[in-house]
């Protein structure tokens, strides 16, 4: 299967899937040419990523800024401008209204998050949105073109001078089903 370089399938990547480096790297590599999908996020989401990087993952201010700058530079079209008033975007957690707003404004097909309970079908169906865990999303992407996914995992490993097996191990905790698929395919 050849993937369209102007892929119209768009997903809003929530901060919780962009903060862990191995997962973020995998997701963004699948968005590079030839792309499986178009990534979307807002400045508010990137701010949340930066806060997690600094406060929970103990990145320095410089590391935080370097990472966010690299994401903005690699995917300038990913930025979605969200409205200042979010009260029309109804979610169980008011703190996630900006995520729903970004998905709607960016015309996303899905929200990729670990917090799926915060985006029940009832708040997504009027916008035609799905909500998926990164594991479910990556499994689906794998089945679209297994050899290409493996190539992108190998590229990810080569950049940090690791093996495919080491990348799979790093992804195992966050994406167990996807990691198992990679492992089976590699055997």
Q: What is the pLDDT of residues 88-144, one digit of tens each?
A: 566 666 778 899 999 999 999 999 999 999 998 988 988 999 999 999 999 999 999
Can you tell me the distance from the alpha carbon of 153 to that of 95, in angstroms, rounded to the nearest whole number? 33
pLDDT score, position 73: 97
Average pLDDT over residues 42-49: 96
CB-CB neighbours of 173 under 10 Å: 11
pLDDT score, position 186: 81
Q: Is the pTM of this model over 0.75?
A: yes
Task: Tell me if 165 is assigned to some domain.
Answer: no
Task: Tell me if 4 is assigned to some domain.
Answer: no
Q: Domain tally for the chain?
A: 1
Task: Tell me if 17 is assigned to some domain.
Answer: yes
Task: Tell me if 21 is assigned to some domain.
Answer: yes
Can you tell me the distance from the alpha carbon of 76 to that of 58, in angstroms, rounded to the nearest whole number? 26
CA distances from 38 to 31, 59, 79, 155 (A): 6, 27, 11, 19
CATH of the domain at 24: 3.40.50.1010
Task: Tell me if 111 is assigned to some domain.
Answer: yes
Task: Tell me if 159 is assigned to some domain.
Answer: no
CA distances from 156 to 29, 42, 77, 81 (A): 8, 25, 22, 30
The closest of 16, 12, 6, 179 to 107, measured between CA atoms, is 12
Task: Tell me if 162 is assigned to some domain.
Answer: no
Alpha helices in the chain (DSSP H): 15-18, 21-29, 43-55, 61-74, 97-105, 121-124, 134-144, 146-159, 164-172, 176-186
- How high is the mean pLDDT of the chain? 91
Query: Is 90 exceeded by the pLDDT of residue 85?
Result: no
Task: Tell me if 184 is assigned to some domain.
Answer: no
Range of the domain at 127: 10-133
């Amino acid at each position: 299967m050849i993937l369209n370089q102007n892929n119209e399938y768009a997903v809003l990547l929530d901060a919780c899937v962009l903060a862990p480096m191995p997962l973020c790297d995998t997701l963004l590599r699948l968005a590079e040419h030839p792309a499986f999908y178009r990534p979307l996020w807002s400045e508010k989401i990137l701010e949340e990523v930066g806060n997690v990087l600094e406060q929970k993952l103990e990145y320095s201010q410089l590391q935080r800024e370097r990472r966010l700058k690299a994401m903005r530079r690699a995917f300038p079209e990913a930025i979605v401008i969200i409205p200042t008033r979010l009260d029309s975007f109804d979610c169980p957690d008011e703190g996630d209204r900006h995520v729903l707003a970004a998905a709607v404004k960016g015309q996303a097909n899905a929200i990729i998050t670990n917090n799926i309970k915060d985006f029940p079908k009832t708040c997504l169906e009027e916008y035609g949105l799905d909500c998926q865990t990164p594991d479910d999303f990556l499994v689906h992407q794998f089945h679209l073109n297994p050899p290409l996914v493996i190539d992108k995992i190998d590229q990810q490993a080569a950049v940090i001078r690791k093996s495919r097996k080491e990348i799979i191990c790093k992804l195992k905790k966050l994406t167990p089903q996807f990691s198992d698929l990679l492992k089976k395919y590699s055997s």
